[in-house]
Chain A
Amino acid sequence: MKAVKRIAGSTAAFIKKIWMQKQGRIGLILLTLLALVAVFAPLIAPYDPYDVAQRADKGLAPSLEHPLGTSITTGQDVFSMLIYGTRVSLLVGLITGISIALLGSVLGVAAGYLGGITDMLLMRIVDVMIVIPTLPLTILITNVFGKSYVVIVLVFVLFGWTGLARTVRSLVLRLKNADYVKSAELAGAGRWYIMKTHILPSVSHLVIMSTALSCAGIMIAEAGLSFLGLGNPTAISWGKMLAEAQSGGSMLFGQWWTIIAPGIGIFISVFAFMRIGLAIEGILNPGMKGKNGMNKLIKHMGNRYLDEVLSSMEDAE
């Protein structure tokens, strides 16, 4: 019970810290809104896009009945699809982001702190996995094991932890030689105790930041996969809405709203996570605030490794 209370307390304090930053406040507000929309989608959406009986004529223009018109391929209400699409995007993004954070930090700490053969093995695995191109690999695996979000999340997690693990490992290697860890060792503290009380808390900020950023990156990747038709074929997602609008000829008939709507959905959700990531970076690195956070973010989203972030943190110290 005590532990739960402590964790809850520190989480609340951390969220408050994020809230104190302008960046973080925007992100938190947007994220809360999105989460509410996702949870209460059936209440907010005027129609049920999964219900075949509620489909109207195909490709209707926006009107009072259908605020964003109807889809050109099936006649579902676009506004309702947009609201239901929040579910897939947020769910895939959050589950994958959090699993990557858990796996990456545990394996990174293990490699850095235990050293020896564990370290060697893990880093060799990382070396191999980082080379394989992610998108083609995901396509191949969905081909072999079937198209579903479960498979996509599994692939993202299994091949996405490598960058974080590497960064956490190098941070742990530096912490390991810090005086307070050395003195804890001398005082006779056990390995698990040191890991739990000294190493993990220092790593946690970095991990939380990378979670926010990898959620953002994964939402974009998920939209891309759904756009290619590799997501769950029956689910409604923003990427699939874009693909249907494109293949159905929305552009040919001038129905730009069916393309803009899911695009804005993707933008808002990615934007929210990016703001939170930036805010945490500001907390980690007060000196660097606003200077080149954006730059590091771009690099991170591009190649999913936090190496640059870490090296610039070293420069700052």
Chain B
Amino acid sequence: MKKFYVFKRILYTLLVFAAVVTLCFFIPRLGVDDPAARYYPAQGNMSDESYELIKELTRKQYGLDGSTWSQYTRYLGGLIRGDLGNSYRAGSPKVWDLMAERLPWTLVLSVSGMVICLFFGIVIGTHCAMKRGLWQDRALMNASTITTAVPSFFIALMLTYFLGFTLEIFPAYTDQNLVSSFDWSLKSIGSVAYNAALPIISTAIGGIIGNAQGIRNSVIAVTGEKFIVTARAKGVKRRGVLYKHVLRNALLPVVTGLGMSLSGLIGGSVVIEQIFNWHGMGTLYLEANNTNDYPLMMGIMIFISGIALAANLVTDLCYCLLDPRVTIGDKR
């Protein structure tokens, strides 16, 4: 039965992925009637024949020859082999290579941001739960009211102004030589950290407060459980109860949420990357948008969706392994 469930689940994920790919493939083709005509507008002194020839050559060069259907099957075929096609940029680099170059830089921002959010969120959240109803707790409540209502890019702009321009503690814009001069020496790692500080802080502020509020609530909920009372009654110290019993249970939902936020790690910081001119996936996507580089845009969207689907699948399968009652009908 279980094997059957796993098989069904994987098959379904693949179907959803195919639907996503189809959507991503056809949306750009809805608006652009003839890409070749768009790149080479007809010129007065050109005969119709040579214009047609140029358009045909352009289509071949960018892989746009043949009917839409044959382009689609070609794209799917490439995708199965792990090929996301070629970008429209000069030299037609592989979409995959362009993304692979940017991905680590985005992960630098998002993974370190996530770690910071988790760490400080747990510390602050637990502290406030312990000080329930006191000023620390109320301060967290008020802070979370403000940070949810303020977009993170506004926080980023404020930080750039105060820490970057006025106090000059951190660089307001990313050093443009950062990427090209990067070697694994301590000095360049240090300069990456120095340049990444502001973008990370500006995304982390909202995340820390949100996480802290969530953890505070789940810690308080767990503290009310009977097994905590039992542990206290049998003489376990307050601190021991907190680490061994309360936190272990309170952090479960946080860990589950991590899997879900995986796709947000890659696509979520477009605006922040744009503000700091960070050399990541978000700015790559915006560059592709400015140059109408549809294969690149499709590739990034398919990549992010694929990661999200894979993360969902893994979480579901883990649940299935851990909980014998789960079947496919149960899901939501």
Which A residues form the contact surface with B (CB < 8 A)?
A: 127-128, 131-133, 135-137, 139-141, 143-145, 166, 170, 216, 220, 223-224, 227-228, 242, 246, 251-252, 254, 256, 259-260, 263, 266-267, 270-271, 274, 291-292, 294-295, 297-299, 301-303, 307
Is B149 close to A, CB under 8 A?
Answer: yes
A252 to B168, CA, bound (A): 11
Is B158 close to A, CB under 8 A?
Answer: yes
Interface size in chain B (residues, C-beta < 8 A): 53
Contacts of A267 in B (CB 8 A): 146, 149-150, 154
Which B residues form the contact surface with A (CB < 8 A)?
A: 16, 19-20, 23-24, 27-28, 30-32, 141, 144-146, 148-151, 153-154, 157-158, 160-161, 164-166, 172, 210, 213-214, 217, 260, 263, 267-268, 270-271, 274-275, 285-286, 289, 292, 297, 300-301, 304-305, 308-309, 312, 332
CB distance from A255 to the nearest CB of B (A): 9
Contacts of B267 in A (CB 8 A): 133, 135-136
Chain B residue with Cβ nearest A302: B210
- Given A143-B28, A294-B144, 9 other A-B residues pairs in contact with their CB atoms under 8 A: A131-B16, A131-B309, A140-B301, A141-B27, A144-B30, A144-B32, A251-B160, A267-B150, A295-B217
Contacts of A291 in B (CB 8 A): 217
Can you offer 7 A-B residue contacts whose CB atoms are under 8 A?
A128-B16, A166-B332, A216-B149, A266-B154, A267-B150, A294-B144, A295-B217
CB distance from B314 to the nearest CB of A (A): 14
How many contacts A-B (CB < 8 Å)?
Answer: 135
CB distance from B257 to the nearest CB of A (A): 9
Determine if A242 and B31 form an interchain contact, defined as CB atoms under 8 angstroms apart: no
Known: A136-B300, A274-B149. A145 touches B263 (CB 8 A): no
Contacts of B292 in A (CB 8 A): 143
From B150, B214, B275, A298 is in contact (CB under 8 Å) with B214
Of A132, A141, A145, A216, most buried by chain B (CB within 10 Å of CB) is: A132
Contacts of B214 in A (CB 8 A): 295, 298-299
Determine if B150 and A263 form an interchain contact, defined as CB atoms under 8 angstroms apart: yes
Contacts of B154 in A (CB 8 A): 223, 242, 259, 263, 266-267
Chain B residue with Cβ nearest A252: B165
Chain A residue with Cβ nearest B156: A246
A307 to B153, CA, bound (A): 27
Contacts of A136 in B (CB 8 A): 267, 270, 285, 297, 300-301, 304
A87 to B68, CA, bound (A): 42
A270 to B206, CA, bound (A): 15
Contacts of A302 in B (CB 8 A): 210
Contacts of B28 in A (CB 8 A): 140, 143-144
Contacts of A252 in B (CB 8 A): 165
A166 to B331, CA, bound (A): 12
